[in-house]
């Protein structure tokens, strides 16, 4: 691992490893992961742990509830989080810290930077950050939904060199290895495209929320930020020993040679669009620094309610997504100038107020 020159690792551990039998937390599968973390830290490499498992850990405390409605799952998360943290804490002889967050925290730039600062401060003081989605308070609007994608967002925020996503299989196969004996493991993925996503099956764990698809989504987020990403079998000690020997333990997703800039990566993969600006299907400006500015007469519609500084989606009328960008106008003002028949008035207002979106705050999207 020293030959790789890694300085910081993010490890994602799922619910099936934390509470495999729905009877509370178990250290059975966590010991090898903890030993790996100890050895890595002894080599001078920072570690950040993203750990699912609060709901699974607390489920056994609600034996009479068979419906597991949303309120009960939130209660399970509240009860199970302390048990999960206690289990991790007992495996280390150094201090750990808990960070609970929602997507609402990550997609707000100010809170996102605050999370970064907290992680760096903990690492500077030799404390292991353990992060999880705050299932007790999160809502559909505010949740990431799975810790695979959350781990990729955290890896970006933590300026990690590598993301390790623990799975119940050895990596990405060309078909489901649980149902096909001739399934072949892909040791290296240089480009994540539709053919890679087609290989992903559904979740195979009874207690987890993510399957192989969410792991590929996480890998796509991470590699675009220049982060080496591995999917490996977390139920075995062997993959972690292989990593220590500098070997590939599963499927290695190769990072982009030219990583996306941090603020553009945040806007593309973490920030959520609060609204939309719709342009005509014939709109052909790439919205980059070399293009002309987006003008009011090119706007067909403004959808959603957003304020100055919010992230918005710019798309064509046919649904093609062009870019995510920071809006310099509120939805109210944009709707007003977009509906003006007097272009001179709209252009004068735009000239006085500035561009609708700045070329410094645009994340171009592949047409999708």
Look at residues 78, 37, 47, 43 and name the one whose alpha carbon lies nearest to residue 61: 78
Residue 90 tokens read as: 């007992």
- Which position has the token pair 């030959």? 3
For residue range 292-302, list pLDDT tens digits in order.
Answer: 577 777 888 99
pLDDT at residue 250 greater than cutoff 90: yes
Domain ranges for the chain: 2-265, 273-364
pLDDT value for 347? 63
- Tokens for 70? 């949303």
Which phi and psi (to 5°) does residue 71 adopt?
-60, -40
Rounded to 5 degrees, φ, ψ at 57 are -70, -30
Decide: 192 and 258 in contact? Cβ < 8 Å.
no
pLDDT tens digits, one per residue of 171-188? 999 888 878 889 899 999
Choose the CATH number for 2-265 among 3.40.50.1100, 3.40.1160.10, 3.40.50.970, 1.10.8.60: 3.40.1160.10
pTM for this entry: 0.81
pLDDT > 90: percent of the chain: 47
Query: pLDDT tens digits, residue range 40-60?
Result: 999 999 999 999 889 889 988
Q: Is the pLDDT of residue 118 over 90?
A: yes
Cα distance between residue 23 and residue 53, in whole Å: 12
Instruction: Count other Cβ atoms within 10 Å, centred on residue 343.
Output: 12
Name which CATH class applies to 273-364.
mainly beta
Tens digit of pLDDT for each residue in 128-166? Answer: 999 999 988 877 666 777 899 999 999 999 999 999 999
């Amino acid at each position: 691992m020293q030959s790789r020159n890694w300085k910081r690792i993010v490890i994602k551990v799922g619910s099936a490893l934390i509470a495999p039998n729905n009877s509370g937390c178990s250290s059975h599968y966590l010991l090898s992961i903890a030993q790996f973390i100890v050895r890595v830290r002894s080599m001078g490499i920072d570690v950040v742990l993203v750990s699912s498992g609060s709901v699974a850990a607390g489920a056994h405390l609600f034996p009479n509830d068979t419906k597991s409605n949303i309120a009960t799952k939130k209660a399970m998360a509240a009860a199970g989080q302390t048990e999960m943290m206690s289990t991790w804490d007992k495996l280390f002889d150094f201090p750990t810290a808990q960070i609970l967050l929602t997507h609402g925290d990550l997609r707000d730039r100010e809170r996102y930077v605050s999370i970064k600062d907290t992680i760096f401060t903990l690492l500077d003081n030799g404390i292991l950050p353990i992060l999880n989605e705050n299932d007790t308070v999160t809502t559909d609007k505010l949740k990431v939904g799975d810790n695979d994608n959350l781990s990729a967002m955290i890896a970006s925020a933590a300026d990690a060199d590598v993301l390790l996503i623990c799975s119940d299989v050895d990596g990405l196969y060309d078909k489901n290895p649980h149902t096909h004996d001739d399934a072949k493991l892909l040791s290296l993925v240089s480009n994540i495209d539709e053919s890679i996503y087609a290989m992903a099956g559904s979740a195979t764990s009874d207690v987890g929320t993510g399957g192989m698809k969410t792991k590929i989504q996480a890998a796509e987020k991470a590699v675009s930020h220049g982060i080496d990403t591995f999917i490996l079998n977390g139920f075995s000690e062997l993959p972690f020993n292989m990593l220590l020997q500098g070997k590939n333990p599963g499927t290695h997703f190769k990072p982009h040679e030219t990583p996306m800039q941090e603020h553009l990566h945040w806007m593309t993969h973490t920030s959520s669009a609060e609204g939309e600006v719709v342009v005509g299907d014939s709109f052909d400006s790439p919205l980059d620094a070399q293009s002309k500015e987006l003008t009011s007469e090119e706007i067909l519609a403004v959808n959603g309610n957003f304020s100055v500084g919010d992230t918005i989606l710019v798309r064509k009328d046919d649904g093609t997504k062009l870019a995510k960008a920071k809006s310099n106008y509120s939805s109210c003002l944009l709707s007003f100038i977009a509906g003006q028949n007097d272009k001179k008035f709209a252009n004068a207002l735009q000239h006085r107020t500035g561009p609708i979106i700045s070329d410094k705050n645009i994340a171009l999207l592949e047409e999708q």
